[in-house]
Structures are given as C-alpha cells and as structure tokens.
Amino acid sequence: METASDLAIRLTKASRKKTWDVYNTFNWPEALEEGVWYMPPELISIYGTPAYEALTEEQQKKLSLYELGNFFSLVLQGERPLVAGLVDRLYAKGNSVSVNEYLHHFVDEENKHMVMFGEFCNRYIGKVYPEKKISLPKTYAKGEEEVAFYCKVMVVEELGDYYNLAIEKDERVDALVREVNKVHHIDEARHLAFGRVQLAELFAKYSPEWSPETLAGFREWLVAYLRASWGDYYNPAMYRDAGLADSYELRQMAMSHPAGAELRKKASAKVVNYFIKTGLLAEEPSL
C-alpha cells in the first residue's frame, strides 16, 4: 500500500506540472451579469422548502449569488487555519523529505485559493462573510490533536469539493464561477488524496494507545465538527443580503427540513464513509 511519503513524491510532481498564477488566471469583469445562476438551485440551502418555492425565479437567482459568496467565504475561512496548521507541520520531527516538499505545495495552493475566493467575494459580494466557529481550549491525548487537525482538513475539503464538482459541471451556472470551481477542484483532488493517506496513517499510529473514553470523546467531537461545518452553509447574513426576511427563522426551517437533511447526507457521504472505514467513526451520524 502506498504510504504518505510515497504519495507525496507523485503529488509534488503533479503540483509542479499544474502550477498556475492566481493573479493572471481569471478575467474579473467589472460587474456580474444579472438574472443568471451562480449556485445550482439544487445546492441552495433552502431548496425544496416552501420558502424557496415562494420566491420568483429572479429572487432565486439573486439568492444563488449570495449562497455562492457564502460558500466561497466559508471555504476561505476553513483554509486559513488549515494553512497555519500546515506551516506549523513543515519540517516537523518524523516528516520525510518528500512530505515536507509536498506540504510547501499544499500551502502555496491553499494560499492561492484564499486569494481567488477573496477576490470574488470582495468584488461581487462586497465582503467575505466572517467565520462563526469558536475554538475552545482542550487537553489532548498523544496524537489526538494531530489526528483532529487532519480531520478538519478532510471535512472542509470534502464538503467543498462536492460543491466544486457540482458547480463546475452545471452549464446553467455563470462561466466564471464554473471556472473558479474547476481550478479549485483540480488542486483539491491532490490535497484530498494526501489527506486521506496521511490521516489514516496517523490514526493507525496513535489511536491504539487511546483509552476507550478518549476514542469515544474524539468521535463525539468529530460529529459535532461535521454538524457545525454544515451550520455554516445556512448563514442568516446571506439571506438578509439577498433581501429575504426573517433570516434566523429561515435558517432554522432550512436546517430542520427533510430536503436539507437529504442534501447534507448526500454531500457528506464520501467523507463519512472514509471516517467509518478508517475507524474514526463507528457509525453514520445524523447531520
């Protein structure tokens, strides 16, 4: 079976071959076209609810722009601590030369993504939506913090990649938006490949020494992190910016509606199955 160190050699070669310039790749128009889709309607957080059906198509398309702005913002906000964590792990004890080399590319590409998403949001939304998660102090068992870090990486990137692929392939969506999602997916495919192998190796190394209580607590945290990550997709601020009333009530309704639960289950399937296969989770959680 290919190790993270072996995989890193291949991924470094691919990153070098596919390197790109974030400042010259896209032609940013002065303004976006009105009356087009920016997020496929099926990915809009209130899709399938009475509130969505009550909107005109013009309102639905306007909401799709702010949904996209929120999606780009939450991926950007998820990548900020990811980059910080990767930098902290550069040349860490136990890293192979090939892993260190690939982490440089990982950091470089994630920085480009933040520039790209920030450019779009600042130009066309007028802001980057702020992060809502709060980090609380915690005492970790040996290796637990390292495993938790790569779990966060997988959640941010797997959920984001589900949306990237759906948007990239949807011809109803604005061409610039499709291209941004395509560029992001190409890099993320490598990041995800590395993350899956690296996380599995770390969990296999450290978890046998954890107590049953530690493992149970870790699994509770992981489910809570998944749920909190999905909560970011139901942002009251984007509803207000799209001109919708009762934004907090709308959020609660959308999160509790069966249509929302079905989307979360479908979009989470790959990462949840990975967590179960590796033993990070014992069963499929309710999201």
Q: Which residues contact 20 (CB under 8 A, 6 or more apart)?
A: 112, 183
Three-class SS state of 236: helix
Largest CA distance in the chain: 57
pLDDT tens sequence across 135-184: 667 889 999 999 999 999 999 999 999 999 999 999 999 999 999 999 99
pLDDT value of position 94: 87
CA nearest neighbour of 270 among 183, 193, 203, 215: 193
Q: Where do the domains of the chain lie? A: 4-278
Query: 282 near 219, Cβ under 8 Å?
Result: yes
Q: What is the CATH number of domain 4-278?
A: 1.10.620.20
Residues of the chain with pLDDT under 70: 133-136
Taking each helix axis as running N to C, give the angle between helix 175-206 and helix 144-169, from 0 to 180 degrees, rounded to the nearest 10: 160
Query: How far are the Cα atoms of 11, 88, 176, 200, 268 from residue 279, in angstroms, in the given order?
Result: 26, 26, 40, 9, 16
* pLDDT of res. 136: 65
In the prediction, which pLDDT does 139 show?
86
pLDDT in the model for residue 261: 97
pTM for the complete prediction?
Answer: 0.94
On the CB side of 159, how many CA atoms lie within 13 Å of its CA? 28
The predicted pLDDT at position 2 comes to 86
